[in-house]
Chains A and B, each alone.
Chain A
Amino acid sequence: MNDHKDRSNSKQPQSCHPQEQHVKDNKKSSSRFWKELAKGIVISNPVFILTLGLCPVLAITNSITNALGMSAGVIFVLLCSNIMISSIRKAIPLMVRIPVFIVIIATFVTIFSLLFEAYFPPLHKSLGIYLPLIVVNCIILGRAEVFASKNSVVLSAADALGIGFGFTIALIMISFLRETLGTGSVEIFGRQLFKLPGLSVHPLTFFISPPGAFLIIGILLALFRWIGVIRSE
């Protein structure tokens, strides 16, 4: 048990978020909840600031519908696994914590995938392999290791929702730009939102293909960093 304490203590200063240390003060818990929630959306946005889990981001942002499906999956898995891991965090033996995290995450990913297949089959098909690959998405394992295994259930849920919404916003921004430039029209779940007159006849199909994803993500990353630099000055 001593070993457990020592190792987790020695780790905390290395964590990239100093504010994530365990706070036992109950009075602060409500404001902490909102702080953890807001943190994931801008100041530690998983895609633009932490740059985690970029593989599915590059692959499925070719349409807004796909981006929304993927985001729903990530929010569901992140929320369930964070709550689950946080509620049993004191019983998890340090030695097998990573296998335990992975089993819990894989279970929720499979549940989500099964439900998705039953109730949203077209979307399940178009997400394809990227849905089961949420298991190895480092955003989720990262939150389990850095946050949920050290904080209370309520704060872990807030963290999951914040990071999840941050991920969703990033995906919507990328896929909106790619779909607009690449096809000249935007569709959500088969319903057309708008169609640009010139662009839909001669779309810049480059943006719908993988290199376009790199370009758009690069530009947005630079934009987020630039805003960060301006704010810190």
Chain B
Amino acid sequence: MRNKILLNKAYPVVFLAVIVIVSVVLLMAVNSMTSPIVKNMQVEEIKNTLRSIFPEMSQYEVDDEVYIIYEDDEKAGYAFIASGSGYGGNIDIMVGLDSGFGIKGVSILSQTETPGLGSMITESLFTDQFKELSASDIALKADGGKIDAVTGATISSRAVVNAVKEKMIEIIDSLEK
């Protein structure tokens, strides 16, 4: 009986199909278990980053890709996520603007730059340079702007600077309309 099943020509196909179905069911189960946790965490992470830029934030609203920040029910500024590609992959940057469209603060959300070199872009020594700058000043000093690149990580630094600048101009345009 056992041999009869194993020798059947359709057996390999049926076997593979069963394996695939079992694994798909398994993956669906795991995914439905973890996806709410992942989603929650992303919201929490964005909230924490916004709070680090706007310490007095009471609440925020999401309008398309712009986060509108309120302090005591008054509009205090805007925030958006800029992304550029650095030396080792994508860099996502949260940028906060005050109500006059100057930069309130910048924080790196995610990056995969070289540890010890490009990864220094996450440190406040680099990100604090963006504070209070307007879009026209945002460029590396080597390119005529006001920002010092991280030593040995010009590509990573330039990626952040360019991403922030481009997205900032785009967002300000859409906000002024």
Binds B, one of A9-17, A106-114, A162-170, A188-196: A106-114
Choose among B38, B110, B112, B116 the residue that contacts A205 (Cβ–Cβ < 8 A): B116
A104 and B23 contacting across the interface, CB-CB below 8 Å:
yes
A82 within 8 A of B: no
- The number of chain B residues with a CB under 8 A from chain A is 28
Q: For residue A125, which residues in chain B have a CB less than 8 angstroms away from its CB? A: 110, 112
Task: Identify 30 residue pairs between A and B in the complex whose beta-carbon atoms are under 8 Å apart, listed by A's number.
Answer: A1-B6, A4-B6, A62-B115, A91-B6, A93-B6, A93-B11, A95-B12, A96-B12, A96-B16, A99-B16, A100-B19, A104-B23, A107-B23, A107-B26, A111-B27, A111-B30, A118-B34, A119-B37, A121-B38, A125-B110, A125-B112, A126-B112, A128-B112, A182-B116, A183-B115, A205-B114, A205-B116, A208-B115, A208-B116, A209-B114
**Interface residue ranges, A against B (CB under 8 Å):** 1, 4, 62-63, 91-93, 95-96, 99-100, 103-104, 106-107, 110-111, 114-115, 117-119, 121, 125-126, 128, 179, 182-183, 203, 205, 208-209
Choose among B3, B15, B26, B27 the residue that contacts A96 (Cβ–Cβ < 8 A): B15
Of residues 2 to 28 in B, which have CB atoms within 8 Å of A's CB atoms? 3, 6-7, 11-13, 15-16, 19-20, 23, 26-27
B15 and A100 contacting across the interface, CB-CB below 8 Å:
yes
State how many angstroms separate the Cβ of B151 from the closest Cβ of chain A: 10
State how many angstroms separate the Cβ of B126 from the closest Cβ of chain A: 17
Given A1-B6, A93-B12, A205-B152, 8 more contacts at CB 8 Å?
Answer: A1-B7, A96-B13, A96-B15, A100-B19, A107-B26, A114-B34, A121-B45, A203-B116
A110 and B27 contacting across the interface, CB-CB below 8 Å:
yes
B152 and A103 contacting across the interface, CB-CB below 8 Å:
no
| Nearest-CB residue, chain A, relative to B117 | A205
B100 within 8 A of A: no
Choose among A95, A111, A115, A209 the residue that contacts B26 (Cβ–Cβ < 8 A): A111
Q: For residue B31, which residues in chain A have a CB less than 8 angstroms away from its CB? A: 114
The 9 closest A-B pairs by CB, nearest first: A107-B23, A118-B34, A93-B12, A183-B116, A118-B37, A96-B12, A114-B34, A95-B12, A96-B16
| Nearest-CB residue, chain A, relative to B5 | A91
Choose among B6, B16, B117 the residue that contacts A100 (Cβ–Cβ < 8 A): B16
Q: For residue B112, which residues in chain A have a CB less than 8 angstroms away from its CB? A: 125-126, 128
B41 within 8 A of A: yes
State how many angstroms separate the Cβ of B87 from the closest Cβ of chain A: 10
Of residues 112 to 128 in B, which have CB atoms within 8 Å of A's CB atoms? 112, 114-117
Q: For residue A110, which residues in chain B have a CB less than 8 angstroms away from its CB? A: 27, 30
B145 within 8 A of A: no
Cα(A126)–Cα(B152), bound, Å: 20
Q: For residue A111, which residues in chain B have a CB less than 8 angstroms away from its CB? A: 26-27, 30
User: Known: A1-B6, A1-B7. Contact between A115 and B116, CB under 8 A?
Assistant: no
Q: For residue B26, which residues in chain A have a CB less than 8 angstroms away from its CB? A: 107, 111
| Nearest-CB residue, chain B, relative to A4 | B6
Cα(A99)–Cα(B23), bound, Å: 13
Q: For residue B41, which residues in chain A have a CB less than 8 angstroms away from its CB? A: 118, 121
